[in-house]
Structure formats: C-alpha cells, structure tokens
C-alpha cells in the first residue's frame, strides 16, 4: 500500500503521548458526530452552589490544548455553563502554561482550574501551588473507588489528593491483520516468545534494505513497560534505581535478540520513511505499541489498513505490564473561587453522564470508572484491549526526580545500546550510576 499520511493531521495534543502521556482528539471513530447534543450534557444531580447575588461567579480554566483539543474543552465548558446559572467558566489557552502558572501563583493572577499532566504532581505539590481536594470529596461524598487507583496515586502527594483524573491511557499492541495472516500467523501474540516469532515471520528484507519491519523497537522510553513485563520495577522502595539486575538484563537481551539476531527492526527505520509517513498506517510495520489516541487516525484508513489491538504480551514468566498516563484537573492554591472550581471539576470528572459526554467529545477514556460501563465502550471491540490493559497498567514512580532520571540517565544509555555502541552490562551500570545521582540531587523539590 502506498498511501502517504500526514502526521500533522493527528491532533496536536497527541504529541504529549510520545512522552508517555495521553493523547487528545483521538479514539473511537464510531463516536457521535455531534456529541454536544448528547443527553449526557444534562446537569448533575446536585447543581453547583454559587453566590446568591444573581451574578455568576466567573472562573478561568487554563489549558494548553489547542485546535481540536481546545474545541473539546470548550464543549465541556459550554455544557457546564448551560447546566446552571451560578458559575461561568471560560477556557483560556496558554502556551508555556506551567511557567506562566508558577509566575501567576506568586503574583496573584492564578487561574481557578488548571489542566494538569498528572506526573507533575510530585514536582509541584511540594511548592504549595496546588490546593488539596480531600475535604471537598469528603463533604460531597465523592468516592475514590470510582476512579482508577493508579491515576489517583499520581495526583497524590504525602497522602493528600490534589486533583481528579480526566483521562487515562496505556500502550497496547497494534497489529496489521493482513501482514500477520500472509505470514502464517494465526493469532496475535500473547507473550514475548510469540511476539518474537510473529515479528520474524512478518519482517521483509530486500538485500540490505528493510522493507517491512516485523515489530517497532524505536522507542527507548518504553523500557519501563518491558521491565514490568520482565517482573521488575524502575525504583526501589527507598527511591533508588532498580533496573541494573537480571530483570533489566532480560529486557536488553530480548531487544538485542530482536534487533541483532532476528533483525526484525532497524533503528531509524521509521524516521527514514520521512516525517509525513506513518510506518504502521502504510503497511511497512507489522506490529507496534501505541495508545488509544491513535485509534481514530488508523481507523480513517481502514479501507487499506485492517488492524487489531491486543493487551501487551506477557514477559518470560507471565508478568504483564504497561504504563498508565493521562491528565487531570487541579485547583491552584491561588484561586479566589476554590469552592466553585471544585463544583466544575466534580461536574466534569465525577458524574457518569458528564464523563461520558467528555469521552464522546474527545474520544479519550475518562478517569471515572462508572462511565466505562456504558455501551459506548463495552460494545466497541477497539476499546476492550485498552480497558483490559488499564487494569494492569502502573503509573511512573512519583519520586520528584524520576522524570529527570529517566530522561537524562536511562534513555540516553539505552539508545546507545540500541545503536550497538554499548553493551547491556555497561548500559545498565552507567544508567544506574547516573540515575541514582540524579534521583538524589532531585529528591527535594526546591
């Protein structure tokens, strides 16, 4: 198939997914074409309590989703504003949002609600710029059991909850049905060995030129997911790296076999196709890990791309794993209307109908579990593998220095290993030494 697909057509918010977080305006292509007309736009059972003066309380909601993402946010804001007359919310698009927020937090210009990449909580909660929500939940009887526990954990610091999850996501295995069938692979893989076997059978070389890769190994940032599947964890309980061991070695040995013995992939293969070409969508890649944010993009090309999705294959001892990402809504400490901001967050994230409206509008999986019970999710087979994956997915460690450790120590060393410039032993040893220092240096948020 020779179809060129512009990656610019993918919503700009999906770029966040490449860092391990949620995408935005993507998901199930069978969603309502006019979600704002859904009956789920009805107000929640308890209308927000505003001032009694007759003049609505005005709230500012900051976010950094533009384009389709901005339209999705505005759909929810409009539905909330129409559901009652006491509070009026306005979405304000902010570029370089976190920098502006930190400045506003000290200058008195703080917004009332903030769109929040959840992994940031452990970095910014210690700075006292976020308002804890525990008293609000207790007062209104909002149960934490209705939300994904891992997502709540990512919004928690020192036993205080600082937000409610808006979206949840995790990587699952996309596979090209035709390529697997043509290669004699009857079923998608369920474990590492089956994944390796299928990748070998679907890979096509023409001399020294790779024409079809059996499986993508281009993302070194997925090491965490593979480590879970190998039965390991990224950090120890006392906040040190935990991958320079037999579990980490199992991951790199597996990658080495796929890359250098089986030759099912070549580092740089996907980039070499050009920025405007998606290897999986164009049939040049048989299997790849990706998130629910890519469903809409791939389903648009369903005539030429017959694909399926399954949960991530288990590791050599049957361990399963994926990394949960996603976003939340938080209330800045500097908000002058924290009660009203809570009413908006509760309406959006803790009400089944409104969480479902959000799902149909944005094609994201909401963090509110009762919404998942709806036929919109249960009757569509493309959502099932992601919902199953979310049950076993784990968030990244909440150590304040984790993101620095992963980005500056682990991933650069793993990339050298992928490029055959460093042995597995040296890779893990150097990543441990550099990583432990970064964790120690960033253990206390300043």
Model pLDDT, residue 53: 61
Model pLDDT, residue 272: 85
**pLDDT-flagged residues of the chain (< 70):** 1-53, 302-303
Strands (E) in 39-86, as ranges, are: 57-63
Interatomic CA distance for residues 270 and 190, integer angstroms: 24
Strands (E) in 280-349, as ranges, are: 287-290, 307-310, 324-325, 327-330
Model pLDDT, residue 323: 97
Taking alpha carbons only, the member of 403, 320, 328 closest to residue 364 is 328
Domains along the sequence of the chain with CATH = 9-169+325-390 (3.40.190.10), 177-323+399-441 (3.40.190.10)
Taking alpha carbons only, the member of 269, 163, 168, 150 closest to residue 215 is 269
**pLDDT per residue over 248-294, tens digit each?**
999 999 999 999 999 999 999 998 887 778 999 999 999 999 999 99
**pLDDT per residue over 301-352, tens digit each?**
766 899 999 999 999 999 999 999 999 999 999 999 999 999 999 999 999 9
Model pLDDT, residue 302: 65
Model pLDDT, residue 276: 73
Distances from the Cα of 371 to the Cα of 38, 166, 351, 354, 375, angstroms: 14, 12, 8, 9, 9
């Amino acid at each position: 198939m020779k179809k060129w697909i512009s990656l610019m057509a993918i919503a700009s918010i999906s770029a966040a997914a490449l860092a391990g977080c949620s995408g935005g305006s993507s998901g199930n292509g069978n969603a309502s074409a006019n979600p704002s007309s859904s009956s789920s736009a009805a107000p929640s059972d308890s209308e927000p309590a505003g001032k009694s003066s007759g003049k609505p309380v005005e709230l500012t909601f900051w976010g950094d989703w533009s384009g389709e993402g901005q339209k999705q946010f505005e759909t929810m804001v409009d539905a909330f504003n129409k559901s009652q007359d006491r509070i009026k919310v306005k979405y304000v698009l902010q570029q370089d949002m976190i920098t502006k927020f930190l400045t506003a937090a000290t200058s008195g210009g703080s917004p009332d609600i903030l769109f929040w990449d959840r992994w940031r909580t452990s970095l910014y909660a210690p700075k006292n710029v976020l308002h804890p929500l525990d008293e609000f939940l207790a007062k209104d009887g909002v149960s934490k059991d209705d939300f994904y526990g891992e997502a709540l954990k990512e919004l928690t610091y020192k036993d205080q909850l600082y937000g409610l999850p808006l979206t949840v996501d995790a990587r699952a295995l996309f596979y090209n049905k035709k390529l697997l069938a043509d290669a004699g692979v009857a079923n998608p893989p369920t474990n590492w060995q089956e994944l390796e076997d299928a990748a070998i059978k679907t890979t096509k070389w023409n001399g020294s030129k790779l024409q079809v890769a059996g499986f993508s190994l281009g993302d070194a940032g997925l090491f965490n997911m593979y480590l879970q599947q190998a039965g390991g964890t990224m950090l120890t309980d006392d906040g040190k790296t935990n991958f320079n061991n037999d579990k980490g070695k199992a991951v790199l040995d597996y990658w080495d076999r796929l890359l250098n013995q089986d030759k099912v992939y070549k580092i740089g293969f996907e980039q070499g196709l050009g920025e405007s070409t998606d290897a999986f969508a164009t049939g040049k890649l048989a299997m790849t890990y990706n998130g629910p944010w890519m469903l809409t993009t791939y389903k648009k090309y369903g005539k030429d791309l017959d694909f399926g999705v399954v949960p991530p294959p288990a590791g050599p001892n049957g361990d399963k794993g994926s990394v949960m990402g996603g976003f939340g809504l938080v209330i800045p400490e500097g908000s002058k209307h924290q009660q009203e901001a809570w009413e908006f967050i509760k309406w959006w994230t803790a009400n089944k109908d409104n969480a479902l409206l959000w799902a149909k509008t944005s094609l994201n999986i909401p963090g509110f579990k009762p919404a998942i019970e709806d036929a919109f999710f249960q009757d569509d087979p493309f959502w099932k593998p992601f919902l199953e994956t979310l049950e076993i997915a784990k968030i990244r460690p909440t150590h304040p220095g984790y993101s620095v450790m992963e980005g500056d120590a682990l991933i650069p060393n793993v990339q050298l290993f992928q490029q055959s410039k460093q042995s597995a032993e040296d890779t893990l040893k150097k990543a441990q030494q550099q990583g432990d220092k970064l964790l120690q240096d960033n253990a206390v948020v300043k």
